Chains A and B, each alone.
Chain A
Amino acid sequence: MMRILIFVLGLCMVLVYQFSSRDKKQHAFTLCATCPPGFELTNDNRCVLRNLYQQYESGTGDDTGVGGLKTALTSARDGFTPQQIDLGRYLFFDPVLSKDGSVSCATCHNPEKGFSDGLKTSVGIGQKKLKRGAPSLWNVAFLKKFFWDARATSLEQQMEGPLYAENEMGTTRELLLQLLNQIPAYQNLFDQAFPARESGSIELAEIYTAIAAFESSLISLNSRYDQYAHGYHKALNHYEIEGLNIFRSFVARCAECHTPPLFTNQQLAVIGVSEPDGGPLDPGAEKTYHDETLRAAFKVPSLRNVARTAPYTHAGRFDTMREMVEFYTKGRGHEVPLDERLRIHWHIGKPQLSQYEMDRLVDFLKTLTDESFMPRIPEKLPSGIEIPQVASVQISSRIQKP
């Protein structure tokens, strides 16, 4: 297997001027005027998503985006301006969004770790351990519900969770606006990103729009699996195709919930994993919908870039894909606490997969990796806060060929 490491030198040459004023050193930032990879710039300065799945029909039903290899994806959030996306990139990496300047969105959604954090459950402000793991942000543009328990229906609504949760970023609406409005560089950037704005001061809706714009630009649709799906059958080797066939077979039934092309059907499912370290059962979507039949139901996660986002499940129950796969073959409800009666999803059975089959499934899952549209981490932040480890980080993306 040939591996080519490509060093992404930067999508957009961001101009960083350094000049001295009488009191302090300031940076003047210019926002990128071109769209990130995967997007076409329109005449009215908007970035519109383009990809090879647009040559196909949607599955049955309107815009469901579920089906087989050559099925259109569900509709995506797009149409943001290049400037909004680029402003969102700065905000995403800037710890000024947290109460004490220690946590940014990228702390838990680290591009180096598949826009997750490699932890069983994430760690918020003041090293507070949280209850759930950070989901990957690749392809969130296509998602209709957010959080493991599906309690938000837009990216804007979602980000209000971590921003204002005391144990995550710990800020408040007032503090966030106060901090950003004190920074001339941000005032200037918001003017660039929102040229029609009337108020001189930065508003919450603008912050949310910019971050949603950036998050929606994280597109991963060029894996080796995708090459196979578009008709190049040599993209996968014999073992990986065996894995694909096990994946979609009705013995393992993986594809029934992790349905192509996004590898999620965007539904809720009760799979019945126990909590790590014997903690109390996470009620999941039961709380969201006030419905006890949804106890311990969680959103079906997309499997794109799954090899980059260990550990797995809402609380990092499994460290490896192999263990995660094995969970599904150990019998329906085998980890459910004795005092719980959960509505385990009907596709969870006891498929009795062989060791060989589980290995092949993992082979296949690894073909869903694509980080060729990795965004560039800012070298300097408008807040002046240093990004930890940024100096040494060289974002690499692997393009694998069989």
Chain B
Amino acid sequence: MLGRSSRVPAPVPTYFDQSVTSEDSIGIGAGTITGRIIAVRKGQSIQDAVGKANSGDLIRIYPGVYNETVYIDKDNISIQGVIENGEWPTLDGQKTMNDAILYSGSGTLVENMKITNYKGNGIMGQAGNNYVIRNNWIIDAGVYGIFPQFGKNGLVERNILTGIADAAIYIGMCDNVDVRFNEVYGNVAGIEIENSRHALVEYNYTHDNTGGILAFLTQGLPIKTCYDVIIRNNYVYNNNHDNFGAEGSAVSHIPKGTGILIMAADDVTLENNIVSGNDNAGITITDYAFAGVDNANDPESEPNSDRIVLLDNFMENNGNNPVDDVKALMITKLSRQGPDIIAVGGGVGSCIANPGRYRTFGVDNFASCQVRETRRIISYMLERPVAPRAIALSEKGKMTYFGVCSGCHAYSTRLVGPPVVTIQALYKNNPRGIVDYITRPIHKRDDYPEMPPQDYLTDDTRQAVGEYMLTITR
């Protein structure tokens, strides 16, 4: 076994080679207003405004209480609260509503909203790239406060969250996200990076939660990895709140007094955090068997925390009241106090800088870190917004013809509707004629059933398929 003073260098994590720009939010695109500004005032409905909005529009919410669930299934919609004389526009779920804001569109911006009394989430995204969630004030809003899921390229900054029963800020199955300048307190978990890749957690103030900052790989999810996480320059203070997590949730197993917890995640770097007053342990590194988490195994996901990089961190006054398991471990070190840093379970390739500074357990086999700092990583957001998949109009026509029309129309044989050759003869050089017909079909022929209108397809999709149908040769 390698000793604490080992000079064997640990491998340099590959992510240190990523190129980044110095412009910090250039790659987002959300909040770029190209359309109208729609004002919503007290007594009006935010959802009505979303319904009217088109891509590129800004919806401004003026002070007042709004009791609704807002869902955004469009791209490039910005929700901006207007705070006047300290009065916030407030979404209040009155403890009867599930979520304040649900979005699936890309380029979503949500800012300056006060959100309270929901049962599910404050702000939840399912898919939706290039998101910005900032300057929101979220109080007792359910399971998660801010929860982007399946999104690439996002920014979560300057939010204040408290009273959340799971993670206040939960980055789930996302890529390329910066979480910074947030204050999270009085939650079960402050900030959780779960099954996400390329996450920068910086300059956050996480205090008085059960656990401050978490990087987890949870098993049984469709994304099987969690790596390239930098946790630096955060203030992680006094996370000693009683655990009020729901039975069965992973966070319900977090011992109170947990500063930073890394569970089964890989390539996580901790640098320049101030970790103080966390009564169980300052930094905990563990595999999936930690503290009674009792989910079913996932044969496809690797349970150890590998290649953890512990650079300089300011740690003091941690471990004043450790849980029994930790207490038992520390007695083997002839200490009754909990550790600044504890590593249990499997894992390879981890390193620690200046370990002699801290009260530690289980890091004896950590190598000495080769890297000294993470300055080169300014942001994990992308240089440019994730672009929608570029689809040529002819491709779109083809997808629509085969994906939709071919259920009733074949090239030369009769299915439900007439064969394509018949349609081509009728509309030679006249794709617009096809578009007009499929938008509002008129029952023309008694020998065929009436065609249902295809007005649910966008106008350019109908144009594309009209043109495509005239080109089919088999």
Q: Do these two chains interact?
A: yes
Interface centre among B142, B222, B395, B399 (most CB of A within 10 A): B222
Indicate which residue in B74, B247, B388 contacts A349 across the interface (CB closer than 8 Å).
B247
A246 / chain B contacts, CB cutoff of 8 Å = 98
Contacts A52-B399, A68-B128, A71-B150 given; does A373 touch B407 at CB 8 Å: yes
A-B contact count (CB 8 A): 211
Q: Does A125 touch B at the CB level, under 8 Å?
A: no
B246 / chain A contacts, CB cutoff of 8 Å = 349
B222→A267 contact, CB < 8 A: yes
A7 / chain B contacts, CB cutoff of 8 Å = 416, 449
Q: Does A64 touch B at the CB level, under 8 Å?
A: yes
Q: How far is the CA of A376 from the CA of B456 in the complex (A)?
A: 27
Q: How far is the CA of A59 from the CA of B398 in the complex (A)?
A: 23
Shortest beta-carbon distance, B188 to chain A, in Å?
Answer: 14
Q: Which positions 341-388 of chain B face chain A at CB distance < 8 Å? A: 386, 388
Which A residue's beta carbon lies closest to that of B51?
A: A233
Q: Mark A131-150, 1 if CB is under 8 A from B, else 0.
A: 00000000000000000000
A64→B222 contact, CB < 8 A: yes
Shortest beta-carbon distance, B187 to chain A, in Å?
Answer: 15
Which B residue's beta carbon lies closest to that of A260?
A: B126
B16 / chain A contacts, CB cutoff of 8 Å = none
Q: Does A255 touch B at the CB level, under 8 Å?
A: yes
Contacts A55-B396, A227-B456 given; does A68 touch B126 at CB 8 Å: yes
User: Which of B23-31, B117-125, B431-439 faces chain A?
Assistant: B117-125
Indicate which residue in B99, B127, B404 contacts A52 across the interface (CB closer than 8 Å).
B404
Shortest beta-carbon distance, A141 to chain B, in Å?
Answer: 13
B406 / chain A contacts, CB cutoff of 8 Å = 37-39
Shortest beta-carbon distance, A253 to chain B, in Å?
Answer: 8
Q: Mark B388-426, 1 if CB is under 8 A from A, else 0.
A: 110100011011111110111011011110000000000
Q: Does B430 touch A at the CB level, under 8 Å?
A: no
B102→A248 contact, CB < 8 A: yes
Shortest beta-carbon distance, A14 to chain B, in Å?
Answer: 11
Which A residue's beta carbon lies closest to that of B75?
A: A70
A39→B102 contact, CB < 8 A: no
Q: How far is the CA of A56 from the CA of B399 in the complex (A)?
A: 12
Q: Does A315 touch B at the CB level, under 8 Å?
A: no
Q: Does A130 touch B at the CB level, under 8 Å?
A: no
Q: Does B144 touch A at the CB level, under 8 Å?
A: yes
Q: Does A293 touch B at the CB level, under 8 Å?
A: yes
A231→B458 contact, CB < 8 A: yes
Q: Does A394 touch B at the CB level, under 8 Å?
A: no
Q: Does B94 touch A at the CB level, under 8 Å?
A: no
B450 / chain A contacts, CB cutoff of 8 Å = 4
B407→A222 contact, CB < 8 A: yes
Q: How far is the CA of A175 from the CA of B73 in the complex (A)?
A: 55
Q: How far is the CA of A70 from the CA of B108 in the complex (A)?
A: 14
Shortest beta-carbon distance, A98 to chain B, in Å?
Answer: 31
Q: Does B174 touch A at the CB level, under 8 Å?
A: yes
Q: How far is the CA of A269 from the CA of B175 in the complex (A)?
A: 25
Q: Which positions 101-155 of chain A face chain B at CB distance < 8 Å? A: none
Contacts A233-B73, A267-B222, A268-B296 given; does A66 touch B150 at CB 8 Å: yes
B175 / chain A contacts, CB cutoff of 8 Å = 60-61
B449→A4 contact, CB < 8 A: yes
Contacts A56-B389, A293-B296 given; does A345 touch B220 at CB 8 Å: yes
Q: Which positions 54-95 of chain A face chain B at CB distance < 8 Å? A: 54-57, 59-61, 64, 66-72
A60→B173 contact, CB < 8 A: yes
Q: How far is the CA of A11 from the CA of B143 in the complex (A)?
A: 50
B interface residue count range (under 10 / 10 to 19 / 20 to 34 / 35 or more): 35 or more
Q: Does A249 touch B at the CB level, under 8 Å?
A: yes
B248→A344 contact, CB < 8 A: yes
Q: How far is the CA of A377 from the CA of B441 in the complex (A)?
A: 30
B74 / chain A contacts, CB cutoff of 8 Å = 231
B408 / chain A contacts, CB cutoff of 8 Å = 6, 372
Q: How far is the CA of A374 from the CA of B120 in the complex (A)?
A: 39
Interface of A is mostly: loop
Contacts A52-B404, A60-B150, A251-B119 given; does A332 touch B248 at CB 8 Å: yes
B297→A293 contact, CB < 8 A: yes
Q: How far is the CA of A297 from the CA of B299 in the complex (A)?
A: 13
B389→A57 contact, CB < 8 A: yes
B247→A332 contact, CB < 8 A: yes
Contacts A6-B416, A245-B98, A293-B296 given; does A11 touch B51 at CB 8 Å: no
A60 / chain B contacts, CB cutoff of 8 Å = 150-152, 173-175, 196-197, 223
B129 / chain A contacts, CB cutoff of 8 Å = 57
Indicate which residue in A51, A55, A69 contacts B402 across the interface (CB closer than 8 Å).
A51
A41 / chain B contacts, CB cutoff of 8 Å = 474
Contacts A55-B391, A399-B452 given; does A230 touch B296 at CB 8 Å: no
Q: How far is the CA of A60 from the CA of B223 in the complex (A)?
A: 8
Which B residue's beta carbon lies closest to that of A248?
A: B126
Which A residue's beta carbon lies closest to that of B400?
A: A52
A232→B456 contact, CB < 8 A: yes
Q: How far is the CA of A12 from the CA of B419 in the complex (A)?
A: 12
A245→B150 contact, CB < 8 A: no
B410 / chain A contacts, CB cutoff of 8 Å = 11-12, 34
Contacts A9-B416, A251-B119 given; does A349 touch B248 at CB 8 Å: yes
Shortest beta-carbon distance, A43 to chain B, in Å?
Answer: 10
B400 / chain A contacts, CB cutoff of 8 Å = 52
Q: Does B249 touch A at the CB level, under 8 Å?
A: yes
B150→A346 contact, CB < 8 A: no
Interface centre among A55, A221, A401 (most CB of B within 10 A): A55
Indicate which residue in A6, A11, A40, A59 contacts B150 across the interface (CB closer than 8 Å).
A59
Q: Does A367 touch B at the CB level, under 8 Å?
A: no
Q: Mark A28-53, 1 if CB is under 8 A from B, else 0.
A: 00000010011111000000001110
Which A residue's beta carbon lies closest to that of B474?
A: A41
19 example contacts (A-B, Cβ-Cβ < 8 A) are as follows A11-B415, A12-B413, A50-B398, A54-B391, A54-B399, A56-B388, A60-B173, A61-B222, A71-B127, A72-B389, A232-B455, A235-B456, A249-B121, A251-B120, A255-B126, A260-B126, A267-B298, A343-B295, A346-B218
Name the 6 nearest CB pairs between A and B, nearest first. Answer: A68-B127, A232-B456, A50-B402, A68-B104, A67-B127, A51-B403
15 extra interchain contacts, Cβ-Cβ under 8 A, other than A222-B404, A232-B457?
A37-B406, A52-B400, A52-B403, A60-B150, A67-B126, A222-B403, A230-B456, A231-B74, A248-B124, A294-B296, A332-B247, A346-B248, A346-B249, A348-B248, A349-B249
